[in-house]
Amino acid sequence: MLLLLRSLTLSVLLVLVSLMGMLLCLLRPFHRNNVHYTAKVFSSVAPVLGIKVIHRGHQTGSDEPVVYVSNHQNNFDLFTHTGSVPPGTVSMGKKSLKWIPFFGQLYWLTGNILIDRANRSKAVRTLQQAAEKITAKSLSVWIFPEGTRSRGRGLLPFKTGAFHTAIQAGVPIVPVVASNQQGIHLNQKNNGVVIVETLEPIPTKGYGREHVRELAEEVYQRMQQRLNELNQEALSLTGAKATPA
């Protein structure tokens, strides 16, 4: 019963938020803060799913462009990561997203960047355009460097596109790590705690193309270590929350 109720609630909310978001975007298409505002709305749905999300960590100013890199686990990212998306930020997602009814059109109109991963030359041009937007419009870009959802397999190897973009734009990399959310199920009343933490920026000044893999490995190791720590903390908080006072 809970599964059915939540599924219906999510479907209705997704349609309503998408329609309202598209209306906002029609009034001010591709505005630099469209993604931030719609992300906040999606993050407010987390309690409906029985999830307590803790957002914390380093906060960059909206006038300081960076490339955010975050771990990508499953569809619940839409309700957990989104609370950490700051103003002046757009995300990069696969081109096929725009065909998802309602949500896909919202994703495009809010100003997010669509990348065709199946076409290498087009993908490279998209990454170059992202770097140009960062410098010309002082926009930050949120990228999932694993390139796919991990689905409980831990932190997957990184693709290098995000790091090429950061180096080309001359902006820092800011890792964002979310603790394990594979235990979230719509038929569970209490889905525990997810911690989303924004780590300290990693400068890219002085880096060239020859440093891309070195930078990607450094970021990967920092995120892996912090992910392990956050997983343990989230488990302890979930246990404490589930234990009667």
In this predicted structure, the answer to whether residue 244 has a pLDDT above a threshold of 50 is: no
In this predicted structure, the answer to whether residue 58 has a pLDDT above a threshold of 80 is: no
Partners of 198 in beta bridges: 57, 176
CB atoms within 10 A of CB 78: 16
Between 242 and 235, the higher pLDDT residue: 235
Interatomic CA distance for residues 97 and 106, integer angstroms: 10
Nearest to 112 by CA among 134, 142, 87: 142
Q: What is the DSSP-derived secondary structure letter of residue 190?
A: -
Going by their DSSP bridges, the two strands 89-94 and 140-143 should be labelled as parallel
> Virtual CA dihedral for 172, 173, 174, 177, nearest 10 degrees?
-170
Global pTM value = 0.92
Mean pLDDT of the chain: 91
214-239 burial, b if ≥16 CB within 10 A, otherwise e?
ebbeebbebbeebbeebbeebeebbe
Q: Which of 53-57, 89-93, 102-106, 169-173 has the lowest mean pLDDT?
A: 102-106
Partners of 197 in beta bridges: 56, 177
Residue 223 structural domain = 2-242
Number of structural domains, the chain? 1
Q: What is the DSSP-derived secondary structure letter of residue 81?
A: G
Between 26 and 141, the higher pLDDT residue: 141
pLDDT band, residue 101 (cuts 50/70/90): confident
- Contact between 159 and 147 under an 8 Å Cβ cutoff? The reply is yes
Residues of the chain with pLDDT > 70: what percent? Answer: 96
CATH number (domain holding residue 164): 3.40.1130
What is the pLDDT averaged over residues 161-190?
Answer: 95
Q: Residue 243 has what pLDDT?
A: 40
CB atoms within 10 A of CB 201: 17
For 46, residues 6+ apart whose C-beta sits below 8 A from its C-beta are 52, 53, 79, 80, 83, 194
Q: Which of 20-24, 59-63, 128-132, 220-224 has the lowest mean pLDDT?
A: 59-63
Question: pLDDT digits over 32-47, tens only?
Answer: 999 999 999 999 999 9
Q: Please measure the distance between the N-terminal and C-terminal CA atoms of the chain and give it in whole angstroms.
A: 28
Q: Is 78 helix (H, G, I), strand (E, B) or coil?
A: helix
Q: Residue 62 has what pLDDT?
A: 55
In this predicted structure, the answer to whether residue 242 has a pLDDT above a threshold of 60 is: no
